[in-house]
């Protein structure tokens, strides 16, 4: 028994509703729509490739469902098939319908949640940028160690440069802080010197006062 291809009107309806809602959002907020276009609106070529991808997936799905024929299904459950062929045929029909529906939903999720249109658009941009690049594109050498090193060495060199710049920045900040600390220490030392000088002057004044006081007391006596 060969299953025929089943159309997916629900998917077409969802696509139509999605397009209508996107159009309404664009009319309500044209600035946001403009930003979305600038961020990566699928090109016509990308849209064609999405259609081609969906066509290939549908063909693969049909080929897969053909492999799940009733003959093969019933051969796996021969005792049950002999007991009631009609029930077995009904079970097979329900099974294939649910299987097709599940696979179709996964394909749709792959396209929508994986942002396949956007990624194809990005591939077009990379391809266009590569045409203007005179340098040859990277190709594996066939030696995994060499290819691995060719990828890691530039990365570590960038990291080394970044660390060197950050180290210079930290060293400059430490030098500035050291100068401020030294200036603070010198200020404290000068303050201590002024205090010490003032104390010595005060002691000398007290000693002079006591000397004068003692001489005055002796003269009075």
Give the length of the chain: 221
Contact present, 82 and 47 (Cβ < 8 Å) = no
Residue 28: the pLDDT is 43
Distance CA 102, CA 46 (A): 26
3-state secondary structure the chain: CCCCCCCCHHHHHHHHHHHHHHHHHHHHCHHHHHHHHHHHCCCHHHHHHHHHHHHHHHHHHHHHHHHCCHHHHHHHCHHHHHHCHHHHHHHHHHHHHHHHHHHHHHHHHHHHHCCHHHHHHHHHHHHHHHHCCCCCCCCCCCCHHHHHHHHHHHHHHHHHHHHHHHHHHHHHHHHHHHHHHHHHHHHHHHHHHHHHHHHHHHHHHHHHHHHHHHHHHHHHC
Instruction: Report pLDDT for 141.
Output: 80
Q: Is the distance from CB of 40 to CB of 122 less than 8 angstroms?
A: yes
pLDDT of residue 18: 47
Query: Is pTM, for the whole model, over 0.85?
Result: no
For residue range 173-209, what is the model confidence (pLDDT) as tens digits? 999 999 999 999 999 999 999 999 999 889 888 888 8
pLDDT at residue 46, as a whole number: 62
pLDDT value of position 166: 95
- State residue 4's pLDDT score: 40
Q: What is the model's pLDDT at position 183?
A: 93
pLDDT at 109: 87
CA dist 118 and 112 (Å) reads: 10
pLDDT at 219: 67
pLDDT the model gives residue 167: 95
**Which parts of the chain sit beneath pLDDT 50?**
1-40
């Amino acid at each position: 028994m060969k299953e025929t291809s089943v159309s997916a009107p629900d998917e077409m309806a969802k696509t139509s509703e999605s397009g209508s809602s996107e159009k309404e959002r664009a009319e309500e907020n044209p600035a946001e729509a403009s930003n979305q276009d600038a961020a990566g609106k699928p090109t016509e070529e990308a849209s064609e490739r999405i259609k081609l991808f969906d066509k290939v997936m549908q063909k693969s799905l049909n080929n897969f469902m053909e492999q799940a024929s009733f003959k093969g299904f019933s051969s796996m459950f021969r005792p049950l098939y002999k007991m009631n062929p009609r029930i077995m045929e009904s079970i097979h029909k329900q099974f294939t319908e649910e299987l097709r529906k599940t696979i179709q939903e996964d394909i749709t999720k792959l396209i929508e949640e994986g942002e396949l249109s956007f990624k194809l658009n990005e591939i077009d941009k990379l391809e266009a940028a590569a045409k203007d690049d005179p340098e040859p594109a990277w190709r594996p050498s066939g030696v995994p160690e060499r290819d691995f090193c060719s990828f890691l060495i530039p990365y570590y060199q960038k990291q080394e440069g970044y660390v060197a710049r950050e180290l210079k920045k930290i060293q400059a900040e430490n030098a500035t802080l050291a100068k401020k600390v030294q200036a603070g220490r010198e200020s404290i030392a000068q303050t201590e010197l002024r205090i010490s000088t003032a104390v010595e002057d005060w002691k000398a004044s007290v000693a002079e006062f006591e000397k004068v006081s003692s001489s005055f007391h002796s003269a009075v006596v």
